[in-house]
Amino acid sequence: MLKIEHLRKAYGDKLAVDDLSLHIRPGEIHGFIGHNGAGKTTAIKACCGLLHFDAGEIYIDGLSIKEHPLACKQRTAYLPDNPDLYEFLSGIKYLNFIADVFGLGRQQREEQIERLSREFELHDDLAQPISTYSHGMKQKLAVISALMHQPRLLVMDEPFTGLDPKASFLLKQKMRALCDQGAAVFFSTHVLEVAEKLCDKVAIIRRGRLVVEGTMEEVRGQDSLEEVFLELEGEHA
């Protein structure tokens, strides 16, 4: 579903991502773990076609993101760590705008907006301007907009930040449901407990390079993993 081959991205003299290769298969929830500045967000933005990369290749559903950028984006939903929403719009107008972007028909968009907004307890606030929303409400709106078109690939950067426990639990259920339907989920996190409970596979990145990848059972106990875990725990102690 998502194949990253020898990805490289530098900002001036700083190498943000260095020869990264990953393969996220249909049906998998794949966690991307690393401390702040490790290169997670750079890699994720490259996978979503939002960032030019210096070398390597990215394929989504077998299509090159360089050669078929629009087709790749149509198959993908991206949830950034700090969603930049059009705050002058109401919630419902924003969701209809996203539905237009992905070409959703009237019946499908109405059904999806109705169901998802009620599930995430945002339905009664959709008529209000986004500028009046709390951070948590904005995050819920972004989640709904990402799920509406039932993407083949869901890519998220620290998706649980700002969500209340109930919304976080619901998002985890949605992630698993998508994978059960043959989609794939790739998300970054620094919360190891989330990765352990939720992910089929994890990839640990450190200073732009892949440290280890595999199931939690495969990577647990390796010295390289423990070192990164300790570093993460130290940051958030």
Number of compact structural domains in the chain: 2
Identify the domain boundary among 150, 181, 203.
Answer: 150
Whether residue 218 is found in the same domain as residue 169: yes
- Sort strands 153-157 and 76-79 into parallel, antiparallel or unpaired: parallel
Q: What percent of the chain has pLDDT over 90?
A: 72
Closest-CA residue to 28 (of 3, 58, 62, 1): 1
Long-range Cβ contact pairs of 94-97 (< 8 A, separation 24 or more): 94/130, 94/141, 94/145, 95/126, 95/141, 95/144, 95/145, 95/148
Name the strands in the sheet holding 63-64, side by side, starting at the edge strand that comes first in the sequence: 14-24, 2-11, 55-60, 63-64
Identify the domain boundary among 150, 169, 198.
Answer: 150
Looking at the whole model, is its pTM more than 0.95? no
pLDDT of residue 200: 92
Domain of residue 34: give its range. Answer: 2-75+152-235
Q: Give mean pLDDT, residues 38-50.
A: 92
109, part of any domain: yes
Q: What percent of the chain has pLDDT over 70?
A: 93
The lowest-confidence range among 111-115, 171-175, 203-207 is 203-207
Asked whether residue 217 carries a pLDDT value surpassing 80, the answer given is: no
Mean per-residue pLDDT of the chain = 90
**Between 217 and 68, whose confidence is greater?**
68
Identify the domain boundary among 131, 150, 169.
Answer: 150
Long-range Cβ contact pairs of 16-19 (< 8 A, separation 24 or more): 16/42, 16/208, 17/42, 17/43, 17/46, 17/53, 17/208, 18/207, 18/208, 18/209, 19/56, 19/209, 19/210
Q: What is the pLDDT of residues 132-156, one digit of tens each?
A: 999 999 999 999 999 999 999 999 9
pLDDT of residue 7: 96
**Between 187 and 196, whose confidence is greater?**
187
Whether residue 135 is found in the same domain as residue 34: no
pLDDT of residue 223: 60
